[in-house]
Amino acid sequence: MPTRRDGRSSHVRPRPPSTGRPTPQRVRVPVPDAYRLKQPRGIAGRRRGLPLPARILLVAAVVVLGGAVYVTATGGIGSLVNALGSSLSGFVDELTATPTPSSTPIVIADAPVIASPTEPYTNQPRADLEVTVPDEYVGDPEVRVRIYLTLEGVPPTTIAEAPVGSTIRLIVPVDLTPGRNSFSATIVEAGIESEASPIVTFILDTEPPAFVLASPQDGQTVNRDSVAITGTTQPRTRILARNEANGTSISGLAEATDGTFTVELPLEPGPNGIRLSGTDPAGNPGELIFSVVRGSGELSANLTASSYRISVASLPVSLQMSVLVTDPDGIPLEGATVTFSLTVPGIPPVAKEAITGGDGRATFTTTLPTGVTTGSGLATVLVVTDAFGSTSTQKTITIVP
């Protein structure tokens, strides 16, 4: 090893003898570690890296700074500082507040449904309520169905409780009280009761329907080939009228609103025994027996005139004709078609058509002019009806000097 002048060893490697310019060595630069490489973020990167609360506070600070400049210029710096302090305090409190859990609402069970009866009226003292419960309660031994009964003038009362079975439907038998019985049902689960079901009503009726006859009267004579039986009974009662004289039966139905009914029944000459029977909506039967007599009466018309003897010297003069039309029973007939005609010497015939009113009457007035001459004339009336055929009558009018 070379030595220094002072006798100590030298740490400098001795240079080899020069032979000119040294040959350059190839240096291999290692590839930088990718993990240690960092890309410059730039301004956009710095913005993206700012947390959201910090960005919100930065925007608020800019707004406050601008407002402060404006308020300072206008002299309102004190009130602005107070308002800003309150706003920032509330904002920070809201960001840092601990969330408060909301209370869990009590879940009320769905209401059951009671099937409505096809006919609410019944004469049976006991009925079966068909109750349908929601699917989720089927087979749950802790769930029960509670039945309420409401009578007229009485608040709802619990009358039965039944466990839910293995199907969605269950039958609950109940006793009925005469009159209206209104039922509702609820679901009871873990001490919580559902809303009540829609009300279903049964009406217990054990009384037979009563018939009140308006016409005809018992034993009345009817001068036509049929009789209209009218009256009242319980609404929706099914009616059957039978004439024992000819075996004819006609059915009908009482009106649902007021119970009125009309049945037209053919008659035989002479006495006719009639049996009027009916069944009300609850199934109770009722009956009324009476009789009528078919008479031999006919449609009639009675013609009158204001004067039957008229003098030529009194012409011109007014003449009025009037007719009263009655049906075969002698009752004034409304709606009959009436044709008046007047024929007197010296003038052409005069005619006029009219309709009878509620009193069975119709009138016609005409004027006899000076051209009428002495002699006999006729006042005639023709009556036509749909139910009783037609009839006519006439009166003589005499013209004298």
Q: How far apart are CA 241 and CA 230, in angstroms?
A: 11
Please compute the mean of the pLDDT values over residues 247-271 and round it to a whole number. 95
Query: Letter for the amino acid at 167?
Result: T
Strand-pairing partners, residue 156, are: none
pTM for the model: 0.54
**Helical residues (DSSP H) of 50-76, grouped into ranges:** 52-74
Q: What are phi and psi of 94, to 5 degrees?
A: -70, -35
The pLDDT tens digits of the residues spanning 108-144 come to: 458 899 999 999 999 999 999 999 999 999 989 899 9
**Helical residues (DSSP H) of 279-321, grouped into ranges:** none
| DSSP secondary structure letter of residue 36 | G
pLDDT at residue 95, as a whole number: 40
Is pLDDT of 91 > 80?
no
Residue 223 binned pLDDT confidence (cut-offs 50, 70, 90)? confident
pLDDT at residue 8, as a whole number: 52
Order of strands across the sheet with 126-132?
113-114, 126-132, 169-175
Q: How far apart are CA 377 and CA 350, in angstroms?
A: 12
Is pLDDT of 394 > 60?
yes
The pLDDT tens digits of the residues spanning 291-350 come to: 999 987 788 999 999 999 999 999 999 999 999 999 887 889 999 999 999 999 999 999
pLDDT at residue 190, as a whole number: 87
Is pLDDT of 253 > 70?
yes
Q: Are strands 157-163 and 126-132 parallel, antiparallel or unpaired?
A: unpaired
pLDDT at residue 388, as a whole number: 85
What the chain holds in terms of domains, given with CATH numbers, is: 113-204 (2.60.40.10), 212-294 (2.60.40.10), 300-400 (2.60.40.10)
pLDDT at residue 49, as a whole number: 53
56-70, 83-97, 266-280: least confident range:
83-97
- For the beta carbon of residue 328, count every other beta carbon within 10 angstroms: 21
CA atoms within 13 A on the CB side of 171: 4
Please compute the mean of the pLDDT values over residues 356-369 and round it to a whole number. 96
Is pLDDT of 148 > 50?
yes
DSSP labels, 328-342: TTSPBPSS-EEEEEE
Residue 256 binned pLDDT confidence (cut-offs 50, 70, 90)? very high
H or E stretch including 94?
Answer: helix 77-96
Question: Do 234 and 210 form a contact (C-beta atoms < 8 A)?
Answer: yes
66-80, 93-107, 162-176: least confident range:
93-107
Closest among 166, 269, 289 to 218, alpha carbons compared: 289
pLDDT, mean over the chain: 82
Residue 387 binned pLDDT confidence (cut-offs 50, 70, 90)? confident
The pLDDT tens digits of the residues spanning 283-303 come to: 999 999 999 999 877 889 999
Closest among 389, 346, 390 to 370, alpha carbons compared: 346
* Residue 193: both structure tokens together: 């009761």
pLDDT at residue 116, as a whole number: 95
Maximum average pLDDT range among 23-27, 38-42, 88-92, 385-389: 385-389
Is pLDDT of 68 > 60?
no
CA angle 130, 133, 134 (to 5 degrees): 155
* Residue 55: both structure tokens together: 């960005």
* Residue 278: both structure tokens together: 């009916």
| DSSP secondary structure letter of residue 324 | E
Question: Do 294 and 219 form a contact (C-beta atoms < 8 A)?
Answer: no
- For the beta carbon of residue 136, count every other beta carbon within 10 angstroms: 12
Is pLDDT of 352 > 60?
yes
Closest among 239, 265, 266, 237 to 251, alpha carbons compared: 239
Sorted by sequence, the CB contacts under 8 Å of residue 63 that are 6+ apart come out as none
Please compute the mean of the pLDDT values over residues 48-71 and round it to a whole number. 57
Q: How far apart are CA 340 and CA 237, in angstroms?
A: 47
- Pick the more confident residue, 147 or 17: 147
Residue 39 binned pLDDT confidence (cut-offs 50, 70, 90)? very low
Question: Do 321 and 299 form a contact (C-beta atoms < 8 A)?
Answer: no
Q: How far apart are CA 285 and CA 321, in angstroms?
A: 54
